[in-house]
Chain A
Amino acid sequence: MTSNGKPKFAMYWAASCGGCEIAVLNIHEKILDVDANFEVVFWPVAMDAKYKDVEAMEDGSILLTLFNGAIRNDENEHIAKLLRQKSKILVAFGSCATEGCMPALANLTSIEEVVETYYSTISTDNPQNIHPQPTYKAPEGEIYIPKLYPIVRTLDQVVEVDYYMPGCPPESHQIAAVIDLVIDVLQGKATLPPKGSTIGAGGSTVCDDCPRKRDVKKIKEFKRIQDVMLDPEICILEQGVICSGPATRNGCGALCPQAGSPCIGCYGPAEGVLDYGARLLTAVASVIDSNDPAEIERILDGIPDPAGMFYRFNLGGSLLRASKAAWAK
């Protein structure tokens, strides 16, 4: 492929669902600006390319790489290191890359258990009991599939990251704004934020953008969303349904609570917060309206899966990262 002289752009998906790619395409005609200003050199979902093409590029020759997905296997890690080497600006794009997201919830169990659940449990139709084998000797030679790591890692636990863009996926208007910013920087009209910054997000939390009425919080019972008719005007947390809004960085425009669903925390921790789950946990614990240990116990029983609730998106980026079960081997 010959260069057209424009700055080079790459996007990659590691352990991810593909939602981030769709979010990028969802910027509509803005994608034409990307094409006008960048030469897309590597973007597996959108164009054909080989890893060896990337390996052949000069170090630092890609201006901007949006890297989504967590580091689940050795292929993910290899490409992360490769793109780090080839890119001037590496952005951890989306929740998986910034904080582990859903893939990192596997860090609560051992990798054997993950594979077992995937291929052998009752919900799986696998009559021949086929399990993936790491290597296979074909007539043409030995082939292999990427090796799974016991712990899912975030991008910055593997390589140095320049910027973080949270969200599952990042909101399209935020992506568009970031692309505009980079174009402005290219044209000398703006400067980049300090390295390590979170971009494409707000500086407060979701409650800041949420129009629901709020009062002091006193919770006597936690309810699950399917068991309750939510009042459309009042703070969801006050109604006993755990809303992660108070702990979650804003930038999405509080879409979920406005649609009658609690915030589930995909934009990650607020600026300066070390451990998202711990913060949310202490906040939720703080508003339980009881001093009686037995009653508190009963109220807490209303949260059937605390790790999944409070660390839904952040387990990989949390202080603990994984449970003992995952580390055990």
Chain B
Amino acid sequence: MSKERIGVYVCHCGSNIAGTVDVAEVSRWAGEALKDRGVVVSRDYKFMCSSLGQELIQKDIQEQGLTRVVVAACSPHLHEQTFRNACKEGGLNPYLCELVSIREQCSWIHPDKAVGTEKAKAIVSGGVEKVIWDEPLEPLRVPINPVTLVVGGGIAGIQAALEVANAGYPVIMVEREPSIGGHMAQFDKTFPTLDCAACILTPRMVEVGSHPNVKLFTYAEVTNVSGYVGNFQVTIKQKARSVDTDLCTGCGICQEKCPKKVIDPVFEAGLGYRKAVYTPFPQAVPKYPVIDRENCTYFLKGTCRACEKFCPTGAIDFTQEDEYFTVDVGQIILATGWDLFDARRIPQYGYGRLANVFTSLEFERLTNAAGPTGGKVVLRDGVTVPKSVAIIHCVGSRDKNYNPYCSAICCMQSLKFAHLVHERTGAEVYNFYIDMRTPAKGYEEFYQRVLEEGTHFIRGKVAEITDAARYPGEEGKLIVQAENTLVGKQMRVPVDMVILSAALEPRHDFKEVARLFGISCSEEGWLIERHPKLDPVATMTEGIYIAGCAQGPKDIPASVAQGAAAAARVVGKIQQKEITMEPIRASINQDKCSGCRICNNMCPFNAISFIEDRMVSEVNPALCQGCGTCVAACPAGAISGTVFSDQAILAQLDGLLLNNLKAIDLTPA
């Protein structure tokens, strides 16, 4: 018999639990069957999380002298804090309260009430056994480092960085490419207002580049992250620019003189050229170029050095090497963006085979005044203005062969393309769409405007794009074959140019990013938020936030909103000056530890040290985060975690299996 006085509270959660679990029966059963295990009060209540429900617990703690509390309700993710606080208010140490889930783990997954009720009993029984082993604990407080790391210099990252920096706190921004700006910098116009992307973006870029609170690293990547919220250590790899930024004035002479022209697959989407020494675009921030060593003649053949010869300040430095350095930051915002779906994966659309099939990013570059054609919409030959253009929506999106999700921006982007084609060429425009999705402010109005401009809208998924003419008038054209589902007829539309509104996909290296920062991603590869509705920019890892398309496809306004939201979360935390941490810690039994050092390298927080003179390992409780890695790794079973000791877990299992109802003495010695 346990010496504890345990209260059990079974929540109905409206009908969420009570619908498939006989809560009154569970409560009655716990009061009788678990009496010998120390249960002195057992109640069920409609909403335990309501203030009345919480008061019930507090009253029992005071009047019945409860020493342990078990609440059977929803997942601890939702209400563990609520019930711990309720216990605290009632005068009981909050860590003597166990919340067991009979909703997510029981009522929601069992259609059969009899089965659900029996399982709920077992779960409650497990909670009772576990709570007996719980110990009173005090939360830990550690100071928070006010420096914030922003990974990714697209519009979401820029917004986040500026919000934090303008609030007066230091920001470190890391961008993989030579310049910040992201995909938005590639665009000419933005929907639905058609304002110039560069005109609204570049002032922000300049602000980031010159902000006293922002330290910017471009052509750089994060290679390692350790530590925890408030105290992360981040290793950054600065790739060799081959340009001394202290000397470079950004005059551009090197780019002018460099004899090596290469196709730019990133910024120009493969549609234009850049030099081997380059800044991706004229308004790049920072203004310093980089030398692309894979293509530079000097690095390939050992001769040339034209840039070095002509550089007026002697800034070219071929001997630079990649540098690694470590920074301390308190919180991290990931705004790593998206990659474009590779349209070659749909061979029947002919991209890569039929010259005048373009991707959306290529078309963005075509329309851009600073792009390879100076903003002229022309065919791949560089001169012919198309007389008819087809724009295909949902290429690689909403298609179970490629990506099941909607890429969110393609409808509006395709409408924008239709408008720009009209405006710049006067061509006939055909938009092939599945469903038209224009849900945000001003979007539907823009759709109406493009309709009125005379765009042909054909509702149907394109089957094929071909250059094989079958009928007169098709010769030398691209023929778009589709079913017009509104009239129920197959149609062949001969056009000069096809634009594929390709899907937004997770960055190709999303797995590494997720692993590096210790967060999770969805099946497709989008980084997962803590809660899809109520906590969209936080992640399950405390202190790491996500913003923009890294979290899922979204347009510029939504990306900016998320960047600002993440910044608000970060600033809010910094202003608390210190963070409260769960007092869940690992400790090593010094008598059992043989000093084998298996655990030494395991700790992600570097909390374990080896004491040479005593030949044992020790955990520094100030650094330990209670993750449990070392507990699992210790071959001698010498490491134990508070709250999750082996005994507590085994006791919970015994409870789940109802072994506690048999005459076995499970009580802690």
Contact = CB atoms under 8 A, between A and B. Distances in A.
B264 interface: no
A246 B515 contact: no
Given A206-B594, A250-B594, A273-B637, A216 B601 contact: yes
B591 interface: yes
Contact of B636 (A205, A217, A235, A274): A205
A218 B592 CA distance: 23
A205 B633 contact: no
Interface string A68-85: 000000000000000000
Contacts of B599: 286
B646 A204 contact: no
Interface string A280-294: 101100110001000
Given A272-B637, A273-B637, A246 B598 contact: yes
A246 B593 contact: no
Interface in A245-274: 245-247, 250, 269-274
A207 B637 contact: no
B636 A273 contact: yes
Given A204-B594, A280-B635, 10 more contacts: A203-B591, A204-B591, A204-B593, A205-B636, A207-B595, A207-B596, A208-B595, A247-B636, A270-B638, A279-B636
Nearest to B512: A291
A204 B598 contact: no
A215 interface: yes
Given A205-B636, A270-B638, A283 B591 contact: no
Interface of A: 203-208, 214-218, 235, 237, 245-247, 250, 269-274, 279-280, 282-283, 286-287, 291
Contacts of B634: 279, 283
B327 interface: no
Nearest to B633: A286
A120 to B, nearest CB: 39
Contacts of B596: 205, 207, 214, 237, 245-246
Contacts of B615: 208
A279 B635 contact: yes
5 contacts: A246-B598, A270-B637, A283-B598, A283-B634, A287-B598
Given A246-B598, A286-B598, A287-B598, A205 B591 contact: no
A245 B595 CA distance: 11
A108 B564 CA distance: 59
Nearest to A293: B511
B440 interface: no
Interface string B609-637: 01000010000000000000100111111
- In the A-B complex, list the 8 residue pairs whose CB atoms are closest, starting with the nearest: A247-B635, A283-B635, A246-B596, A208-B594, A207-B594, A207-B596, A286-B633, A205-B594
B635 A246 contact: yes
A230 B636 CA distance: 24
Contacts of B269: none
B215 interface: no
A285 to B, nearest CB: 8
A139 B567 CA distance: 95
Given A204-B592, A270-B638, A291 B598 contact: no
Nearest to A281: B635
A216 B593 contact: no
- Of the candidates A204, A214, A247, A272, the one having the most CB atoms from chain B within 10 angstroms of its own CB is A204
B600 interface: yes
B646 A272 contact: yes
Contacts of B637: 269-273, 279
A214 B601 contact: no
A217 B592 contact: no
A215 B597 contact: yes
B632 A282 contact: yes
Contacts of A291: 515
B56 interface: no
Nearest to A249: B636
B473 to A, nearest CB: 54
Contacts of B595: 207-208, 214
A247 B632 CA distance: 12
A284 to B, nearest CB: 8
A118 B454 CA distance: 87
B602 interface: yes
Contact of A271 (B515, B592, B633, B635): B592
A321 B598 CA distance: 26
> Max chain A CB contacts within 10 Å: which of B598, B633, B646?
B598
Nearest to B591: A203
A8 B596 CA distance: 42
Q: Which of B610, B632, B634, B636 has the most CB of A within 10 A?
A: B636
A278 to B, nearest CB: 10
Contacts of A214: 595-597
A283 B635 CA distance: 6
Contacts of A235: 597
A208 B601 CA distance: 19
Contacts of A273: 636-637
Nearest to B630: A286
A205 to B, nearest CB: 4
Interface string B280-312: 000000000000000000000000000000000
Nearest to B595: A207
A207 B595 CA distance: 7
A204 B632 CA distance: 17
Contacts of A269: 637
Contacts of B592: 203-205, 270-272
B490 to A, nearest CB: 47
A134 to B, nearest CB: 38
Contacts of A274: 646, 650
Contacts of A215: 597
B458 to A, nearest CB: 45
A246 B600 contact: no
Contacts of B600: 216-217
A208 B635 CA distance: 13
